[in-house]
Amino acid sequence: MTVSQSYDFDLFVIGAGSAGVRASRMAAALNKKVAVAESNYYGGTCVNVGCVPKKLFMYGSEFAQMSHEAKGYGFDMSIDKFDWNTLRDNKTKEIERLNGIYQRLLDNAGVTSIWGHAELVGANSIKVNDQIYTAEKILLATGGWPSKLPIPGGELAINSNEFFYLDDLPKSAVVVGSGYIAVEFAGILNGLGVETYIASRSGKLLRGFDESTRQFAEKEILKKGITLIPAQPSAIISGNAGKQIEFEDQKAVTADLIINATGRTPNIERLGLETLNIALDDKGYIKVSDQYETSAQNVFAIGDLIDTPQLTPVALAEAMTFLQQQYHDNPSKLDYSNIATAVFCQPNLATVGLTEEQAVEQGIDIEVYESEFRALKLTLTESDERTYMKLIVNKADDKVIGAHMVGEHSAEIMQGVAIAIKAGATKAVFDSTIGIHPSAAEEFVTKRTPRQ
């Protein structure tokens, strides 16, 4: 293993989340001397307080609905008891197992792991636990942190990180926010039998997604029993009966638990950015070039610190692109187009490519194909949940430039559709593809009539 002359390390990574671990491991595999510093948990947001525990909780919250659906198939699966501690603690055991895997990945790759808070203290210098380390290149990958609720009593609300470790399941809860974190948490709580409210300043859920898809998802989410409060919170007051959250329209709701799920911000506190005058953009993200260079020489940033899609696969791709650029003399930048994503609300929403609104804004002459139906699985049940699918096609070249779905397994289905769209498939290719029958997925290759 080589190391640049006069430096302790070739690469020093601050943050052992998805981006940091991938960059560290792969750099070490290139015979670079690498260190990574971490002060919260190995694996970052996704493993500890994001994608993984959230989806485990979602799975748990779906069993009550499954029990109702089972009746139509002749099974009596009545559920009269749910033990929150079992779900929470089993989830925690799995997360701890994954923490250990990440630690071993770093150890086996020959990466030096340093436990403690790291901050920039000068050019090519980092301080951890009162010890100074030097490195030829420094990579910032500290991820995001839940935003605070800037209202009187806002500290009485828990954040999205704390939700995964609640001592007790509340009987009632208000989720503040309208984005994917908020609707996912609301769905989990509602599915577990909690009286659930979701407070949206705009009165809408999932703004920014394709509008007709968003509207369909909102309708399906709310008809499961979640109450939408279309108002901005103004204060939270603690009382004997619980916590009272007040709204700007003068209304108020009392609940056992209030969760702030209004988003996440770059985790840059005490990182030492001011020491090197590292510039931020107007949203508070670290400014970077296409090569992930910050305004300070030899300091780079990737993942949720920069203004790119806050998704684990994106962070991993940025880490690999950074390594290609720095150690393989490959200046190619990462292609952020046609990134598939999913919201694990209930039912799930998945999407790839352009929304209808984006296509129109770009002046593209489009055709829209859409369908709505009740899934075959539900036809023997009393469930009225419906599925929605949508394709957006560029008339000029017949290419499919957007796909959107609300329904069970939409994330699994959309991954395959994303490959086709990334490859430049036309609507004719979709039409000539023979579907798998009976399945919801076949609907994507059987749409023949555009919306008028």
- For 388, the token pair is 């929605």
Residue 15 φ/ψ region, left for φ over 0, alpha for ψ in the -120 to 50 degree band, beta for the rest: left
**Cα(355)–Cα(370) distance, rounded to whole angstroms?**
13
**Cα(257)–Cα(160) distance, rounded to whole angstroms?**
12
For tokens 């709310």, what's the residue? 222
Q: Taking a C-beta distance cutoff of 8 angstroms, is the pair 223, 236 a contact?
A: no
437 is known as an active-site residue: yes
Q: Taking a C-beta distance cutoff of 8 angstroms, is the pair 402, 210 a contact?
A: yes
**Cα(28)–Cα(140) distance, rounded to whole angstroms?**
17
**Cα(31)–Cα(4) distance, rounded to whole angstroms?**
11
For tokens 């293993």, what's the residue? 1
Single out the catalytic residue among 68, 117, 404, 437.
Answer: 437
Spatial CB neighbours of 392, under 8 Å, sequence gap ≥ 6: 353, 354, 355, 356, 359, 366, 367, 368, 400, 401, 402, 403, 404
Of the candidates 121, 343, 49, the one whose C-alpha atom is nearest the C-alpha of residue 221 is: 343
Contacts of 55-58 with C-beta under 8 Å, sequence gap 24+, read 55/344, 56/87, 56/91, 56/94, 57/87, 57/91, 57/164, 57/188, 58/184, 58/187, 58/188, 58/191, 58/344, 58/346
Catalytic residues: 437
